[in-house]
Amino acid sequence: MNLTIEDTPEGIPGVVARLRAEFATGRTRPLAWRLDRLAALRALLTEQAEVFQQALHADLGKSATEAHRTEIGFTLNELDHTVAHLEEWLRPKPAAVPEFFRPAEARVVRDPLGVVLIIAPWNYPLQLALAPLVGALAAGNTAVVKPSELAPATSAAIAELLPRYLGAETVAVVEGAVPETTALLEQRFDHIFYTGNGAVGRIVMAAAAKHLTPVTLELGGKSPVVVEPGADLAVTARRLARGKFLNAGQTCVAPDYVLAIGDTAAELEKELAAAVGELFGDDPSLSTDYGRIVNERHFDRLAALLGDGRTVTGGGHDRATRFLAPTVLADVAPTAPVMQAEIFGPILPVLTVPDLDAAIAFINERDKPLALYAFTESPESKRRLAEETSSGALSFGLPVSHLAMPELPFGGVGESGMGRYHGEYSIDTFSHSKAVVDKPLA
């Protein structure tokens, strides 16, 4: 990390002032400016892909394939979708005028907010810094990006390259840890976009309240999986394993635990063990497709959970290399430590419940999750899960994938967050929908 005066708490007010002065010129408002900045961001991602791949491998052990699919390619997909539709999204939307106000016209226009702050996490340190930035730029704003200090190689690459491609008057990158983030939160922004955990989310929201700054909080939680009798358990296990063990389980929407209904647990356990072997081989520590835990602190936290229940597969770990094998646990009690907080690692507990009523009750007794997944062939079960539970997203038969569909909103509810983004929803987040009425004077 190469700190400059701008990265210090003392220099941060000047950073924000510079970006606010640029916004005040009005240069960020035209569609041409927005498309130009998005083109520059696209050039950054394509021309510097190898640099980012190396950084992501250094931070999280990501393979080049995974880095492209979940970070670089993901962001390019979001960017290209935005570019293709931005002119349409920005058109003023006519509104009906009641008869007693006529003749008059009314419309809704989307105004840029100003200077936004994006605070990114470490688990997808490139995607979760730049995908929100796509929306911020497309909406006509300038931005401060705060990468995670827990992914130092990626943070350094973003800090070096982002202003070079987009211009320091458009985007500033502030590296650092708690002191720098605290200093940033003391400034007045026009929107704060935070991805991370609920504890820090509360700090962000409290700081934003001092300036009445709107916030988007992309948090997490324990995303449950319901598996009903009659589901194809081999297919279920393969899709679960891919979603759960992507990025070594360090994904906010990863399946957190399984509620296996009736007698499905025993067969599902066998299929999960087979799916892990199919994905990562007999020794996942040798697989180039399997990542590592971000640091020793998180490794120690996860290793302490391995004693809960019975190990179906996995359990191996090596602190020196931050390797923790894809692990499935069975016979886990609801009161076990592994069930008390989001796991955020490659450990998947399987619990048995007697029926769908019990599964729904189990989910509803806990905080609203960022995602809820279910494997069932029953239309009635799908209806009940949609109507009787609350979650940021609901997906049948395919975990995690909704995140990569730019026409779907992504966001949480309750403890799993507030606000939404991706595609046109990002334009909503980073714009003000302004009512305009025009009535002739004669």
Residue closest to 360 by CA, chosen among 379, 341, 380, 381: 381
- Phi, psi for 250 (deg, rounded to 5): -90, 65
The Cα angle at residue 24 between residues 22 and 28, in degrees rounded to 5: 65
Written as one string, the DSSP assignment of 107-173 is EEEEEE-SEEEEE--SSSTTHHHHHHHHHHHHTT-EEEEE--TTSHHHHHHHHHHHHHHH-TTTEEE
CA distances from 47 to 24, 51, 53, 78, 248 (A): 31, 9, 12, 17, 27
Q: How far does CA 253 lie from the centroid of its chain? A: 8
Residue 262, amino acid: G
- Phi, psi for 79 (deg, rounded to 5): -65, -50
Catalytic residue check, 252: yes
Q: What residue has token string 């730029």?
A: 137
- Selected catalytic residue, list 180, 218, 269, 415: 218
Catalytic residue check, 180: no
- Selected catalytic residue, list 252, 269, 271, 424: 252
Strand partners, 16: none
DSSP state of 368: P
Kindly list the catalytic residues: 218, 252
